[in-house]
A and B are shown apart, each in its own frame.
Chain A
Amino acid sequence: MSKILIASPLRSYTGADEVEALGENLGALLHDLDRRYPGIRFRMIDEQDRVRRHMRIFINGEPVKDLGHRLHESDEICIVQALSGG
């Protein structure tokens, strides 16, 4: 089970700024997150499995776009929005 920090625009789905989900890689983790909080994945990941333009996912402080990125239980995952413009 990995802990995930959730950006404020997505907290309407989770109701919390930190949640947990399961997955051996980032893609599986986001699918599990969507199972727990329906609709959240499509707001972050488009239908071609690309991280949306202004969303960023950090794993242990490093930006990751590859949904196949393997995860370890101790990984710190943070989903943030790249604030830009008005």
Chain B
Amino acid sequence: MAKAKARTKPKASSKKKPRPGGSNGNLLLVATRKGAWLFRGDAARKQWRADGPHFLGHIVNHLVLDPRDGKTLLAAASTGHLGPTVFRSTNLGKSWQESPRPPAFKKQEGGRSVKHTFWLTPAHANEPNVWYAGTSPQGLFRSEDGGITWNEFSGLNDDPQYRSWMGTEQDGTPDGPKLHSIIIDPRDPKHLYFAMSGGGVHETLDGGRKWKPLIEGMEVVAGFDPKTVTFHDPHCVRLCPSNPDRLYQQNHCGIYRLDRPAKVWKRIGKAMPSKIGDVGFPMVVHPHDDETAWVLPMDGQTVWPRTSINGEPAVYGTTNGGKSWTRLDAGLPKSQAWWTVKRQAFAADRGKPVGLYFGTTSGDLWASHSEGTSWNCIARHLPEIYAVETAEL
């Protein structure tokens, strides 16, 4: 299925070699409930300088740098009172301009309104200035001018079948149902995936004309029918840059892997220690090795506290595609650390060894320069962290 007929060779990204031992300029893009920060790192990724807050008081759900030009930043923002918008910078945050037409549903009888833009994804390397956005409630939008103006994409937002799978605004997460994990196949700009909480994982091979659910093998909460798309709650889906046929997923109900062209997800979280389980939000994949991925398990018992288990936070990593998992907690607190790490708040850079970064809802920013074998805190006391992204300058 995933091997589309026409593959387009990316112009830039495929030629970009990973830099050994870290690049000359590292950037962490940190989006929080009260604003955004840019952390600029040295070549060794040891020293980080905070640049911010940007948009103090704004709820920033995602802050992303365009890897195609290395300078365009988009921030998905709103406040507790004001409606959603997108801010854009072309000088790495020195100045910002607001989108004159941010993502919004069309006006119609019974029409929906965007509460916030949740997810931003730059499109294919061969489509400069094209971006995709996912919103709450679930909507898919596209910009063809670098994030200045946005339009609904593909008819999905009004498709009766998809609207039924999206459910109502009460069916989603406490902060509203979301469309997220918009993924572009680096070999083919028409081959896209996205996920919905709730509403499953979906795929198109023709640039959004037709979409199909990709939920087989995914489990749902006990007592519900896994054939019903709307019951599926993928929290985060990632495609391996080194093998675009391999996807990893952290779901409300487990950790999964899918190797295309297969269509059935395999629950690799079953190999996690039983006392830890495989509930969580983020999923991170290694940029150069499709066998390696990381998760940050959360407590999914009883009323779903969704904190670190027993107050002892740990990353778990696999180096064999999920056959086994290793606890990676050196440097993290040993007790009484009741963190939650949201789905967009854990990211990897492209260094060798790979750097890992996550932000907590209590405002701490943690880093590992050794692929998770040891951790150190690089910032404390930020607002609740919603998203962490990495970029090379």
The chain A residues found within 8 Å of chain B, CB to CB, are 9-10, 38-39, 42-50, 52, 54-55, 81-85
Contacts and interface: CB of A to CB of B under 8 A. Distances in A.
Interface in B95-120: 98-100, 102, 104-108, 111-114
A84 B83 contact: no
A81 B82 CA distance: 8
A47 to B, nearest CB: 4
Given A42-B83, A46-B104, A84-B80, 19 more contacts: A9-B81, A9-B82, A10-B82, A38-B100, A39-B100, A42-B85, A44-B82, A45-B83, A46-B83, A47-B106, A47-B114, A48-B113, A52-B81, A52-B82, A52-B83, A54-B80, A54-B81, A82-B81, A85-B80
B98 A39 contact: yes
B345 to A, nearest CB: 20
A83 B81 CA distance: 8
B107 A43 contact: no
B138 to A, nearest CB: 15
A33 B82 CA distance: 16
Central interface residue in A38, A39, A45, by most chain B CB within 10 Å: A39
- What are the 8 A-B residue pairs with the smallest beta carbon separation, nearest first? A46-B113, A81-B81, A43-B82, A47-B104, A54-B81, A43-B83, A48-B111, A39-B98
A61 to B, nearest CB: 20
A83 B57 CA distance: 13
Contacts of A42: 83, 85, 102, 104
Interface string B203-214: 000000000000
A84 B81 CA distance: 9
Contacts of B112: 48
A47 B82 contact: no
A67 to B, nearest CB: 12
B296 to A, nearest CB: 25
Contacts of B106: 47
A19 B29 CA distance: 36
B79 interface: yes
A49 B107 contact: yes
Contacts of B107: 47-49
Contacts of B99: 39
B6 to A, nearest CB: 35
A1 B99 CA distance: 28
Nearest to A80: B81
Contacts of A44: 82-83
Of B99, B107, B113, most buried by chain A (CB within 10 Å of CB) is: B113
Nearest to B108: A48
